[in-house]
Chains A and B, each alone.
Chain A
Amino acid sequence: MLRGLGLSLLVAMAVTGAAHAVQPDEVLADPALEARARAISHNLRCPVCQGESIDDSSAPISRDLRLVVRERIMEGDTDAEVVDFIVARYGEFVLFNPKAEGANLILWLAGPGLLLMGLAGAFVYIRRRADPVAAVELTEGEKARLKDLI
């Protein structure tokens, strides 16, 4: 049964047999420029996929975006200009690295903030645990026993 299915599906395969990510024909001749393109596209999200970067994605739109990135680089844009060019058209949704501005500051500062609070809390807690009075104070029984021993 599979064999019969096979022939017609081989045709389908050519269409859906999604090759993934960067294709050889996209690669720029200059390795330095290509490296820049890879770094940029690695941090841009494919607008129609589930959490893939355009560098990893096989969706046609990702290929288009990869080509746009390379086109902009060839035009002489800086990395930031290339990213801005794409964000202007697809929104900040495509940025895997959310800009540290506005409400996003909560995201970026939550970790360091909590760490500082935790350190302060731990410091106070340990200082209390290390209370030298509590450390050396003996119970009545121990004092009596100590007296006996001496």
Chain B
Amino acid sequence: MIVEFGHFALVLALGVALIQSVLPLWGAYRRNAAVMAVAEPAALIQFALVAFSFVALTYAFVASDFSLKLVVDNSHTLKPMLYKVSGVWGNHEGSLLLWTLILALFGACAAVFGGNLPPTLKARVIGVQGLIGVAFLLFMLLTSNPFLRLAVPPLDGHDLNPLLQDPGLAFHPPFLYLGYVGLSMSFSFAVAALLEGRVDAAWGRWVRPWTLAAWIFLTIGIALGSWWAYYELGWGGFWFWDPVENASFMPWLLAGALLHSAIVVEKRESLKAWTILLAIMAFGFSLIGTFIVRSGVITSVHAFANDPERGVFILMILGVFMGGALTLFAFRAGTMEAKGVFSMVSRESALVINNLLLAVACFVIFIGTIWPLAAELFFDRKLSVGEPFFNAAFTPFIVALAMLMPIGAMMPWKRADVGRTLRPLWPVLALSLACGALVFAIQTGRSAMGPIGVVLGLWVVLGSVTDLWARTGRGAVSGRLARLTRLPRADWGKAVSHAGLGITVFAVAAMLSWKIEDIRVVQVGETFPLGQYEVTLKSVDRVEGPNYLSTMAQMELRSGGSLVAVLTPEKRFYPVAGMPTTEAGIDSGLFRDVYLVIGDAQDNGGWAVRSYVEPFAMWLWGGAIIMALGGMLSLSDRRYRVAAGASKRLDAVPAE
């Protein structure tokens, strides 16, 4: 019964979303306050209805209601409770419901926290948000209904893909969607501003916190996904340039660009048209990502559903929203006169370069992702584009970004002097280069990537510190320290985020260049060397988990004879899904991870064992978390007080 109510609520939500989009937009056009006032309650009711629907589906999963096709396909009575719940979004239909829920949530947040917006802008933002809701509710009800029943319910389900039965992956999609869908707010603000025909500093200040929130969630979501790939897939890698990974990375890059250009709109009233275009494109790439994941046109390890009908529907959504917004942009962009004047060397110009690098980097990933499709369609060539291409074509942009970042971040607005900006940075540059040279000398004979990573990482991190210190002005150190604590949160946020990026850049270079790998057959009781460690295979046992069978090895990790850790790498087999998974045994440390994987039993009695020493692995995700923390600091800045409340509200979502 609850399931039927959930289904019904979804249909009702579609009706409310229609009202939410048509009436406020019309009311704003006619300047009719009474009609515009429909926006708020409609947004709240739509959210309540979709939330109820989501709860109903979650109930069906928790209670293992096998009369629902979706539950049969993705759940099993023996599955641990956490994965019964995460199974709700571990599939196409359920994740689409989560997507729509978050979309409605953002609409409701605009209604609740948009008190300081001009009434017409607010009505238009909520209206456009409602329009996106209509599209996705229609998509769900017409092609991917999660509430379809089975006439004859089976006794038990088919289980969730075992790879997804993991805490990292339970929380990865909600964060990713909060990011993806959060960009719909930037889009709605952009379209609303185009309808209003006005973009000013205030608009920049309103749109920025939403973009910032979306970017924070995307950062966390991508980091969680990468971390999961690292420990779950058993290759010791962290990024595979898979189409689906790229799908989340492209909006992240554009959201990063948008964050920075919105500052220029807010502080200097320039780059207006470009910022609007970025806001439209950022959400466009979210939709393209949705298309890539769900259409099955581009093959990927984690593509969801390979149904052409769904792909066509998403393409239609993409076409309508991008086509509509870009047409509107073409008509209105000319009217957005920039006010601020700035010289060739200035903070504004530096941010233009930042935007250029991020946008072109995004484009490079885009063309690399769709090229196999394009080549087959237009040139009849079946080919692949993978890691070597992306490493070669994308890395230069990040290197350039990291090189310019500390300089641009310290440039004053309007007019800057390169010599004066660089003055406090020379010692930082000298120190970074010296450390890089030292590392290069120590590691003799290896690729230069590691030392370059050291230089870039130090340069960016120390550059951020220098920037923060320079902001405290002149005078005695004690006075400057006191002023340091009173700097605006936005300044701290900027420095922390930039430093986080520096740490991640360093960790990527370190992991790619200094990794140690060892593959061998090991007999039980045998000890083998791994870098500075000795590893002993103590035993291999069959163990039974709640819904899997495991081959679990006991391995001792010693350094100079003293025990560092006992690790238990596993090879699991999930009988219901008929799938094996690898659970690596990982000893995480501050400076390195030791990563052990147990393979097959060999004919001569031993076991295949793969072992890695992954230098600075934790720094990679640590850097990402620091980036996100910087974003939160910035979001809590006083001038966004209202929006900061909005973000607190958002943080509560995954717990529902």
Contacts and interface: CB of A to CB of B under 8 A. Distances in A.
Contacts of A25: 521, 602
A134 B414 CA distance: 13
Given A17-B600, A19-B600, A126-B348, 17 more contacts: A16-B580, A19-B599, A19-B608, A23-B599, A25-B602, A43-B386, A43-B388, A45-B384, A56-B235, A93-B384, A96-B389, A97-B389, A103-B375, A111-B363, A122-B356, A129-B340, A129-B342
A130 B520 CA distance: 64
Contact of B349 (A27, A108, A126, A131): A126
A124 B364 CA distance: 23
A51 B519 contact: no
A17 B573 contact: yes
A127 B343 CA distance: 7
Contacts of B385: 96, 98, 107
A27 B379 contact: no
Contacts of A96: 384-389
Contacts of B600: 17, 19, 23
A24 B521 contact: yes
B1 interface: no
Nearest to B380: A103
A100 B601 CA distance: 43
4 nearest CB pairs, A to B? A96-B386, A97-B388, A111-B364, A19-B600
Contacts of B393: 108, 111
Interface in A1-26: 2-3, 5-6, 9-10, 12-14, 16-25
B240 interface: yes
B353 interface: yes
Q: Say whether chain A's binding surface is mostly helix, strand, loop, or mixed.
A: helix
A130 B343 contact: yes
Contacts of B348: 126, 129
Contact of A51 (B299, B349, B360): B299
Given A2-B575, A17-B580, A93 B382 contact: yes
Interface in A93-120: 93-98, 102-104, 106-108, 110-111, 114-115, 118-119
Nearest to A118: B356
Interface in B295-317: 299-301, 303
Contact of A13 (B270, B341, B386, B580): B580
Contacts of A10: 542, 549
16 contacts: A2-B575, A9-B573, A10-B549, A13-B551, A17-B573, A20-B235, A51-B386, A94-B384, A98-B371, A98-B385, A103-B375, A111-B360, A111-B361, A122-B352, A129-B270, A130-B341
Interface in B377-403: 378-379, 381-389, 392-393, 397
A60 interface: no
A50 interface: yes
B406 interface: no
A116 to B, nearest CB: 10
Interface string A36-66: 0000001101000011110010000000000
Interface of A: 2-3, 5-6, 9-10, 12-14, 16-25, 27, 42-43, 45, 50-53, 56, 91-98, 102-104, 106-108, 110-111, 114-115, 118-119, 122, 125-127, 129-131, 134-135
B243 interface: yes
B578 A16 contact: yes
A3 B546 CA distance: 11
B353 to A, nearest CB: 7
B78 interface: yes
Contacts, number: 164
Interface residues of B, number: 68
Interface string B340-358: 1111100011001100110
A105 to B, nearest CB: 11
Contact of B599 (A3, A16, A20, A130): A20
A79 B549 CA distance: 42
B383 to A, nearest CB: 5
B341 to A, nearest CB: 5
Contacts of A111: 360-361, 363-364, 367, 393, 397
Contacts of A5: 575
B593 interface: no
Contacts of A16: 573, 578-580
A132 to B, nearest CB: 9
Contact of B382 (A91, A115, A119): A91
Interface in B230-250: 234-235, 237, 240, 242-243
B60 interface: no
Interface centre among B359, B371, B547, B582 (most CB of A within 10 A): B371
A125 B379 contact: no
Nearest to A137: B341
A98 B573 contact: no
Interface centre among B368, B382, B600 (most CB of A within 10 A): B600
B381 A52 contact: no
B360 A118 contact: yes
B544 interface: yes
